[in-house]
Amino acid sequence: MYCSLSESSSTAHPSQPFVFYCMRTAQTLSGIVARRFFNTSTRIMASGKTLTVSNINPNVIKMEYAVRGTIVIRAVELEKELAAGVQKPFPNVIKANIGDAHAMGQKPITFIRQLLACIANPSLMETDKSLPSDVIEHAKAFLGSCGGKSAGAYSQSTGVEIVRKHVAEYISRRDNGVPSNSEDICLSGGASESIRNVLKLFINKGSGKKVGVMIPIPQYPLYSATIEEFGLGQVGYYLSESSNWSLDEAELERSFEEHSKEYDIRVLCVINPGNPTGQVLSRDNIETIIKFAQKKKLFILADEVYQDNVYAQGSQFHSFKKVLVEMGEPYNKLELASFHSVSKGYMGECGMRGGYVEFLNLDPEVYVLFKKMISAKLCSTVLGQAVIDAVVNPPKEGEPSYALWKKEKDDVLASLKERATLVEKAYSSIDGISCNPVQGAMYAFPQITIPQKAVEKAQSLNQQPDFFYALELLESTGICIVPGSGFGQKDGTYHFRTTILPQPELFKDMLARFTDFHTKFLAKYK
Amino acid sequence: MYCSLSESSSTAHPSQPFVFYCMRTAQTLSGIVARRFFNTSTRIMASGKTLTVSNINPNVIKMEYAVRGTIVIRAVELEKELAAGVQKPFPNVIKANIGDAHAMGQKPITFIRQLLACIANPSLMETDKSLPSDVIEHAKAFLGSCGGKSAGAYSQSTGVEIVRKHVAEYISRRDNGVPSNSEDICLSGGASESIRNVLKLFINKGSGKKVGVMIPIPQYPLYSATIEEFGLGQVGYYLSESSNWSLDEAELERSFEEHSKEYDIRVLCVINPGNPTGQVLSRDNIETIIKFAQKKKLFILADEVYQDNVYAQGSQFHSFKKVLVEMGEPYNKLELASFHSVSKGYMGECGMRGGYVEFLNLDPEVYVLFKKMISAKLCSTVLGQAVIDAVVNPPKEGEPSYALWKKEKDDVLASLKERATLVEKAYSSIDGISCNPVQGAMYAFPQITIPQKAVEKAQSLNQQPDFFYALELLESTGICIVPGSGFGQKDGTYHFRTTILPQPELFKDMLARFTDFHTKFLAKYK
């Protein structure tokens, strides 16, 4: 009767064989480059469609988000095949591609979930006599700040007032008393949304150039994808792998100079603790970056979503805000947006979509416009905001929920710390792989030596060598990692990102499967 | 030590007097127009800031979202003043500006909230013996489709699989068996997010013109705001107020012809039931629109979030998909995106942020790119997706939750229907006001005659006459409505949008306050 997408599609449908999907995707993407130069006024193409790859938003074609890219699509297919009884050389798929703790078996924090249930269904506070009193107090305070005392009412676009207040108190505690004002904080559906909102402010070609955004290489692909989508200019600066992924002033200078002819560089993004690189920046290193930003008049975006994930002896998280304020004039006048999230840390509540941005020294007129812009999106999920509230205002010592909350939090962080050490040791011990210490965050980003014959094989398939490696790994072992080319890396080097999130038993299983695969891969392409 | 936004700001801070805020905002916005023509290469302005209104994204300056605009900001201030004990000529602020049912006292549906609580805290399913068995079954089925059986795991970017399946089943039931495929459905954080995602695909200046998007006038300002933000071209077609806000083919033609020199018109947006206009399109009218879209090769965006809110005798909701499919060739080949939400209907769960888009006849290559684009946003709130699940897959007859669910749903809809009738009668009976029947949705959009002296007074204040009226109304009575100029209206006519959401007692109080104000206003400016 009519043609549904899935019936008519010859591309990218989960039921299509993967190789065919890859071929079609490759065709699409190369075809697109050619077709973009056609005059789109003849927009009703052979397909008869009004919207086609010939006239779609060109930035959507260019953007890539490797964390959910082709390898992951194939992993999902493999899971379905296994579930359907197809025989594979592995019993299960291990998704080490994404920082998704609960999907990897981490248990939720009881306090957070009790609070959420009370806010969702307030009658529980009357009927459930087993609820700790502090959970009820938190829930009532939160609901008292909601329209109609319901999480079903829209919040202000900037977020529920009491949560913004608790965030400010949290930041000030974290930063040794450096003040924070709730008016400078906007809640959002995860940190990604805030990061995208802030980057959107910079879209402006008034100077005749694209605005340039400095990002680390390797980077988290949200940045490269958003920069492409918004038509901004990517200005990559390399992290120094030999110095445990630290930043080097000379490299910042090189990158700035090299790109300043092409772009009007106005933004410097830093990810600390690092994703995908797992380093924790030293205070010295942060001061270097701040001085550089001041010299070049850059607006700093500090992605600090892994601030609770610091494992290495001697490593400590320093917020950019605290360092910048403590450095005094003129650095304390720099414009800064700092981001945090409930998706990482010890709670790992990715699906809840809670995050925030704190602004420092933002032009007040710009802030009015920012708030107007986000108002058209109405508000972020109110239950997500409740999770933020639980994270920034957890049980205090002496309250009924404190002991369990503390134990659950400490257990998660201790286990992550154990796996952070384990992953580095395991990968470093494998021939042809080197791995920096995982000081923080949730990832290792090992470098792999890919034999020349494998590189040639990959090239013959029109694939990046690390993509080829990752796909072989997936098909042979069920382990899903993300090729380094999705994050950026120095030419001629190959990496992959793996999370440290599989629970200990699965994690050991994964390392064993990996080692076996790698040995065979080296032998095969020797 | 450093300068926080709120400390340094001389604009738009809630603690600033409103008149001062308005003045400053007006200065800002007119100043912006002048400054945009400056060469932004001298971007370090007197403020010393890197990001200023002189070099910010110009589309962010232009976009407006009246539903949360100046009048609403003032209403929030008034609420705070009342709370602080300031004497006002009214006891409370009545927010009739936004379709936010829970904020206006509507109670949540028990089934939805029990389900949410179980999903948030699954241990309740063991401990709470009072839970109906169907709630537990729904919760278990939902969690079984989540990573790690936790709502804290990311979902696929398109949404939790079982919810997409339930949405497809719901659509097919709604549309008398017209098939729906879950692969064509993507969940999102409210319908707004999906609408924005789809419109984003059309950003393309390859033809040398902006892509034009046809929208009704009056319209819901999400459309005008998004069109401005994305640099698309707004192509307004007037709804016919004298024919109860229906669409007229000649007007569609006029609008298309008038704008097709300037824009490459490729999209036709329709809101049915209407926002802010409250009409329910007849099947004939929908067929006319579909024929027009086919003739002009337009992609249809059908905003159908009020599909459950139909009150008038003889009115019935017809989805664009059903009509288009039933019309057969060539109409059943048209590209369509249809949107729905959990924020409206009988549930009014705005703060939960749940919505979806169903695509029909979308180019499969475009769909691959769409899914890639949304993957960079990771996923929408999983608890919001659970609310969608509850709405599209409610208790069935014979299940333990059915009777209560049915009663609560029917009560809400009956009460809304009563208020829909009441609002039309009340406004129509007031001298100088005319009001079309509220056939559906949650709004009335009455036309007001504003006396010439009031128009002149408004002009002397550089305000739109209906803005002036709305502000006087707010300051005198505490009633917060949105001026018609925020939605668009024929030149020389004045309207306002009011919701029908205040609960019956408050609603009658509102109508009494309104009538009293309007009578005095007419007398004052006679």
Tens-place pLDDT, residues A495-510: 999 999 988 889 889 9
CA distance A175 to chain B (A): 14
Residues of A in contact with B335 (CB under 8 A): 49-51
Q: What is the pLDDT of residue B135?
A: 98
* Per-residue pLDDT at B276 exceeds 70: yes
Q: What is the pLDDT of residue A35?
A: 39
By C-alpha distance, the chain A residue nearest B121 is A113
Q: What residue type is B314 in one-letter code? A: G
Closest CA to B353 of A141, A200, A151, A119: A151
User: What tens digit of pLDDT does each residue of A160-216 get?
Assistant: 999 999 999 999 999 999 999 999 999 999 999 999 999 999 999 888 899 999 999
Q: List the domains of chain A with CATH numbers.
A: 5-56 (no CATH), 66-105+410-524 (3.90.1150.10), 154-380 (3.40.640.10)
Report CB contact under 8 Å: A57, B204.
yes
Q: Does B33 touch chain A (CB under 8 A)?
A: no
From A303-307, B45-49, B416-420, the region with the lowest mean pLDDT? B45-49
Q: Which of residues 95 through 154 in chain B touch A, CB cutoff 8 A?
A: 98, 100-106, 108, 113-114, 116-118, 120-121, 123-124, 127-128, 130, 146-148, 150-154
Give B239 or A29, the one with higher predicted confidence: B239
Report CB contact under 8 Å: A28, B104.
no
Record the tokens describing residue A523, joined without a space. 């032998």
* Block residue for tokens 């932004």: B40
Percent pLDDT > 90 in chain A is 79
* Block residue for tokens 């290469």: B41
Closest CA to B158 of B385, B439, B494, B465: B385
Alpha helices (H) in A336-490, listed in sequence order: 364-375, 382-392, 402-428, 452-460, 465-477
The sheet with strand B336-341 has its strands ordered as B185-188, B355-360, B336-341, B299-303, B263-271, B210-217, B233-238
Closest CA to B384 of B152, B144, B188, B195: B188
What is the per-residue DSSP string for B412-449? HHHHHHHHHHHHHHHHHTSTTEE-----BTTEE--EEP
Report CB contact under 8 Å: B53, A3.
no
From CA B344, how far away is CA A359, in angstroms rounded? 33
Q: What is the pLDDT of residue B327?
A: 97
* Per-residue pLDDT at B284 exceeds 80: yes
CA distance A449 to chain B (A): 29
Contacts of A11 (CB under 8 A, 6+ apart): A21, A24, A25, A28, B364, B365, B368
Residues of B in contact with A196 (CB under 8 A): 377
Q: What is the pLDDT of residue B411?
A: 96
From CA A506, how far away is CA A498, in angstroms rounded? 14
> B206 falls in which pLDDT band (50, 70, 90)?
confident
CA distance A57 to chain B (A): 5
By C-alpha distance, the chain B residue nearest A110 is B121
From CA B495, how far away is CA B487, in angstroms rounded? 9
Q: What is the pLDDT of residue B46?
A: 52
Looking at residue B210, the DSSP 8-state letter turns out to be E
Report CB contact under 8 Å: A364, B5.
yes
Q: What residue type is B175 in one-letter code? A: D
* Per-residue pLDDT at A9 exceeds 60: no
In this complex, which of A114, A203, A348 lies closest to B57 when CB atoms are compared?
A203
Report CB contact under 8 Å: A68, B297.
no
By C-alpha distance, the chain B residue nearest A10 is B364
The mean pLDDT of B475-485, rounded to a whole number, is 94
Report CB contact under 8 Å: A60, B100.
no
Q: What is the pLDDT of residue B13?
A: 35
Q: What is the pLDDT of residue A405?
A: 98
From CA B92, how far away is CA B80, in angstroms rounded? 10
* Neighbouring-strand partners of residue B217: B238
User: What tens digit of pLDDT does each residue of B310-345 get?
Assistant: 999 999 999 999 999 999 999 999 999 999 999 999
Closest CA to B193 of B413, B384, B380: B380
H/E element holding B223?
helix B221-229
CA distance B347 to chain A (A): 9
* Per-residue pLDDT at A1 exceeds 70: no
Q: Which of residues 146 through 205 in chain B touch A, CB cutoff 8 A?
A: 146-148, 150-157, 178-181, 183-184, 189-190, 192-193, 196, 200-204
From CA B243, how far away is CA B413, in angstroms rounded? 25
Q: What is the pLDDT of residue A47?
A: 67
Cβ atoms of residues A335 and A300 within 8 Å:
yes
Q: What is the pLDDT of residue B47?
A: 67
User: What tens digit of pLDDT does each residue of B2-24 get?
Assistant: 333 333 333 333 333 333 333 33
Contacts of A72 (CB under 8 A, 6+ apart): A95, A97, A98, A480, A482
How many CB atoms sit inside 10 A of residue B491's CB?
4
Residues of B in contact with A487 (CB under 8 A): none
Residues of B in contact with A44 (CB under 8 A): 297
* Block residue for tokens 């609901």: A143
* Block residue for tokens 């920096």: A436
Report CB contact under 8 Å: A40, B192.
no
pTM of the predicted protein model: 0.90
Report CB contact under 8 Å: A206, B150.
no
User: How would you label B312-344 residue by residue, b for 16+ Cβ within 10 Å and e otherwise?
Assistant: beeeebbbbbbbbbbbeeebbebbbbbbbbbbb
HSE (side-chain half, CA atoms, 13 Å) at B320:
32
Report CB contact under 8 Å: B150, A351.
yes
Mean residue pLDDT of chain B comes to 89
Q: How many residues does chain B have?
A: 526
> B265 falls in which pLDDT band (50, 70, 90)?
very high
From CA A283, how far away is CA A289, in angstroms rounded? 10
User: What tens digit of pLDDT does each residue of A70-109 get?
Assistant: 888 899 899 999 999 999 999 999 999 989 999 999 999 9
Cβ atoms of residues B141 and B149 within 8 Å:
no
* Neighbouring-strand partners of residue B480: B95
From CA A267, how far away is CA A277, in angstroms rounded? 21
The mean pLDDT of A264-273, rounded to a whole number, is 96
* Per-residue pLDDT at B222 exceeds 80: yes
User: What tens digit of pLDDT does each residue of B404-460 get?
Assistant: 999 999 999 999 999 999 888 889 889 889 999 999 999 999 999 999 999 999 999
User: What tens digit of pLDDT does each residue of B107-118 get?
Assistant: 999 999 999 999
Q: Which of residues 244 through 303 in chain B touch A, CB cutoff 8 A?
A: 264, 266, 297-299
Phi-psi bin for B298: left (phi > 0), alpha (psi -120 to 50), beta? beta
Percent pLDDT > 70 in chain B is 91
What is the per-residue DSSP string for B118-129? HHH-TTHHHH-T
By C-alpha distance, the chain A residue nearest B108 is A152
Phi, psi of B505 (to 5 degrees): -65, -50
* Per-residue pLDDT at A45 exceeds 60: no
Mean residue pLDDT of chain A comes to 89
Q: Does A34 touch chain B (CB under 8 A)?
A: no
Record the tokens describing residue B505, joined without a space. 């007692």
Phi, psi of B291 (to 5 degrees): -65, -40
From CA A111, how far away is CA A389, in angstroms rounded? 11
